[in-house]
C-alpha cells in the first residue's frame, strides 16, 4: 500500500538504481527512512538484509499505511514515528548506517537543507545518507552540522528526480 502522493512517485527504476549502488551497505544495517510515505526505502532495506528500520512521517495517512505494511515484516525490528521530520531529527538519540530522505517535492529548499543538515549527527561513521529531490533542486558538495561533516560522493539524475549520496 502507498499513500497518494502525485508530487513524488518513486519509480522502480529509481529504487533499483539506488539499491544497486548501496547493496554492500545494507546487510545488518540500521536504517532511518525520513518522509517515509509508504516506507518503500526502509522496507526494501529490510527485505535485503537490514537489521532494523525506523520510519518517520508527519502524515496520519502515511502512518496508517506504514502500520499496514509493517504486518508483512512481523519478524523484523520496525519502528514507526508520527513526527515532523525536524523535531525527530533534533531529538533522536540513535545513529544509523543508512538514512533515506525523500522530502515532498514542493518543500522549500531552505527546509530541505535544514533537514539534510540535521541528519548528519545521526549518521554512523561509515554510513550513507541518500536524498531524493526534484531535479531542479541542488545540494552543496558538503554538509556541516557543528563539527560533523558529510561529503557528496555521488549524484545522478533519474527522470524528474535528483538522487544524492553523502558519506
Q: What is the pLDDT of residues 87-123, one digit of tens each?
A: 999 999 999 999 999 999 889 989 999 999 999 999 9
- We report the CATH number of the domain holding residue 30 as 3.40.50.150
pLDDT the model gives residue 9: 65
Residue 54 lies inside a defined structural domain of this protein: yes
Asked if 62 contacts 34 with a C-beta cutoff of 8 angstroms, the reply is: no
Residue 6 lies inside a defined structural domain of this protein: no
137 has a pLDDT exceeding 70: yes
Mean pLDDT of the chain: 92
Work out how many domains the chain is built from and give that number.
1
Q: What is the mean pLDDT of residues 32-39?
A: 96
Residue 7 lies inside a defined structural domain of this protein: no
Residue 81 lies inside a defined structural domain of this protein: yes
Residue partners of 99: CB distance under 8 A and separation at least 6: 31, 32, 34, 119, 122, 123, 127, 128, 129, 130
Residue 146 lies inside a defined structural domain of this protein: yes
Domain span at residue 20 reads 12-166
Cell numbers for 53: 528500520
3 has a pLDDT exceeding 90: no
* pTM metric for this prediction: 0.92
Question: DSSP code of 76?
Answer: S
Residue 36 lies inside a defined structural domain of this protein: yes
The length of the chain, given as a count of residues: 167
Residues in a beta bridge with 78: 53
Q: Where are the beta strands (DSSP E) in the chain?
A: 30-34, 52-57, 77-82, 96-101, 123-134, 142-145, 148-158, 161-166
Amino acid at each position: 500500500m502507498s499513500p497518494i502522493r502525485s508530487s513524488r512517485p518513486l519509480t522502480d527504476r529509481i529504487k533499483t538504481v539506488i539499491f544497486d549502488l548501496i547493496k554492500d551497505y545494507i546487510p545488518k544495517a540500521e536504517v532511518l527512512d525520513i518522509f517515509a510515505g509508504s516506507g518503500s526505502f526502509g522496507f526494501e532495506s529490510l527485505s535485503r538484509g537490514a537489521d532494523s528500520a525506523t520510519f518517520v512521517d508527519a502524515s496520519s495517512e502515511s502512518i496508517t499505511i506504514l502500520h499496514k505494511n509493517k504486518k508483512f515484516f512481523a519478524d523484523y525490528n520496525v519502528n514507526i514515528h508520527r513526527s515532523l521530520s525536524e523535531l525527530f531529527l533534533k531529538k533522536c538519540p540513535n545513529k544509523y548506517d543508512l538514512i533515506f530522505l525523500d522530502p515532498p517535492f514542493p518543500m522549500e529548499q531552505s527546509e530541505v537543507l535544514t533537514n539534510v543538515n540535521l541528519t548528519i549527527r545521526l549518521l554512523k561513521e561509515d554510513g550513507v545518507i541518500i536524498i531524493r529531490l526534484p531535479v531542479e533542486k541542488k545540494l552543496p558538495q558538503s554538509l556541516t552540522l557543528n563539527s560533523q561533516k558529510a561529503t557528496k560522493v555521488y549524484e545522478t539524475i533519474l527522470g524528474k528526480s535528483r538522487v544524492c549520496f553523502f558519506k
